[in-house]
Amino acid sequence: MRKWKKWAAVSLLTLMAAGCSPGGPDETSDAGADGESSGEGETTIRFSWWGNDERHDLTQEMLDLFEEEHPDITVEAEFTGWDSYWERLTTQAAGNNLPAVVQMDNSKLTEYISNDLALDLNTMIEEGSINMEDVSDVYQDMLVVDGSTYAISAGSNGLATIYNQDLFEEYDINLEPGYTYEELGEEMARVSEAEGEGFWGYDFVKADYETFRHYARQFDQHFYNEDGTGVGFEEEVLQNFLTTVTTWIDEGIATPYDVTAEVNESGESMVANEEAAMASAASNGLVGVQTLAEADLGLNVMPSAADGEKSGNWVRPSMSFMISSNVSEAKQEAAAELIDFITNNQEANEILRAERGVPIAASVRESLVDQVDPTVQETFEFLEVLEERAGDPEPLPPPGESEVRAAFDRMLESVKYDEMSIEEGVDSFMQEAEQILNQ
């Protein structure tokens, strides 16, 4: 395993020293140390996730079905928005009170692995408690570290471009998989000029960090080095990427930083508003953007940095489900039954409607594709294309990734505003990233 450093140590030690375990069990109760009762013949587990009201309602409906089919298991739901979700989990971890099943983000999982909070699921998979026989490795590889499986994908996606199909037809734009940044720039320049002021061909949607990770992989480089103590790419690669970005902005091909920031703050989409022809996005993001748009939207793969032969993309979990190592064995077994149900049960997935991403079990995916609406079907089709082109999965990012991403965004803002040169920005970021990753 990578030699990751411990995360949030000060926060956890402070809470523990203070004897703080908010939301934990009363010392005089019959509950276990994890706050979840487990009487004879019945087990109660907690299941936490972040998301909007739609996800909450669909998940609760699925849990009702699970409890009908598993009368010996009761599931208590814990649901919050993104920001408060992680604050809550940190507090629960400090109080040894994590839920049995935790919805997990790729950028956070390593922190829980490093602190021995994530259960190794290999035995459960081998024994069939979590049946993975119908799941291709490509949907799970990112969640396997040194041969140990620490989470199960809740649904898959990949980095993509969302584009206005109506506009592409009008301007006879046809970007087949393998198209290059140069070809994309030429087409977006053409449509930008034709549409006039207030319209841009491409919107990076403040997804430059993800886009650069994809870009670097096309040169057999990675954002982080193998042991997570620094970046894994050459300065020249980042300089070339930033040159493309700033050139597109200067030439009116891509949205200026202030426009992108304003639109993102409002929760709108420039492609949906018909102010841009194309944008970077997670593939399952198409579903939400399409609801905001009058035009028909589509998905395409990301551009290639060179001759189009090498794809920098990979299939990734949009999110995953982790089982906490600090709950009792009975609760871990019940948690495994729930994750197996979400992964393999056809009726459960008909309820969830691929809201968390494309289902990872092949039989579920195949039977569900004709039952979801055309927009969701397109995300299924995109994953099939991506699976054929995908490279090896990107390793999980190290603890400190959130700070590194923030530093990258700050540097990018300064470069886009011409507050520093590309060379100065790259040098500044490289130094800051090294400091963060070696704390």
pLDDT digits (tens, 9 = 90+) for 128-174: 999 999 999 989 999 999 999 999 999 999 999 999 999 999 999 99
pLDDT at 41: 57
Residues in the chain: 439
For residues 348 and 62, is the Cβ–Cβ distance under 8 A? yes
What is the H or E stretch that residue 206 is in?
Answer: none
Amino acid identity at 195? E
Contact in structure between 378 and 299 (CB atoms under 8 Å) = yes
The Cα 144–Cα 146 span in angstroms is: 7
The tokens 């920005």 sit on which residue? Answer: 425
Q: Is the pLDDT of residue 3 over 50?
A: no
Q: What is the pLDDT of residue 340?
A: 98
Q: Check if the beta carbon of residue 58 is closer than 8 Å to that of residue 355.
A: yes
Going by C-alpha positions, the residue among 329, 344, 334 that lies closest to residue 67 is: 334
Q: What are phi and psi of 47, to 5 degrees?
A: -130, 120
Most confident of 18-27, 303-312, 356-365, 387-396: 356-365
Residue 301 Cα distances to 45, 192, 316, 362, angstroms = 40, 21, 14, 22
Residue 14, Cα to own-chain centre: how many angstroms? 30
* Token output for 218: 């096309």
Amino acid identity of residue 36, one-letter, is E
Q: According to the model, what pLDDT value does residue 26 have?
A: 32
Pairing of the two strands 159-164 and 276-282 = antiparallel
* 164-205 per-position pLDDT tens digit: 999 999 999 999 988 999 999 999 999 999 999 999 999 998
Non-local CB neighbours of 424 within 8 Å, separated by 6+ positions? none
Structure tokens at 76: 């208590």
User: Measuring CA to CA, how many Å separate 163 from each of 123, 156, 184, 259, 303?
Assistant: 43, 20, 12, 18, 13
Cα separations (Å) of 228 from 53, 394, 402, 423? 36, 13, 13, 24
d(CA 342, CA 242): 41
Mean pLDDT, the chain, integer: 88
DSSP secondary structure letter of residue 228: S
Contacts of residue 91, Cβ cutoff 8 Å, sequence gap at least 6 = 15, 20, 22, 23
pLDDT reported for residue 390: 80
Q: Is 84 exposed, middle or buried (0-12, 13-18, 19+ CB in 10 A)?
A: exposed
Say whether pLDDT at 27 is over 50: no
- CA dist 177 and 121 (Å) reads 36
Of the segments 224-228, 318-322, 380-384, which one has the largest average pLDDT value? 318-322
3-state secondary structure of 254: strand
pLDDT at residue number 6 = 36
Tokens of 387: 């699976």
The CA-to-CA distance between both ends of the chain, in Å, stands at 19
At 310, is the pLDDT very low, low, confident or very high (cuts 50, 70, 90)?
low
Confidence label for 18 from pLDDT (cuts 50, 70 and 90) = very low
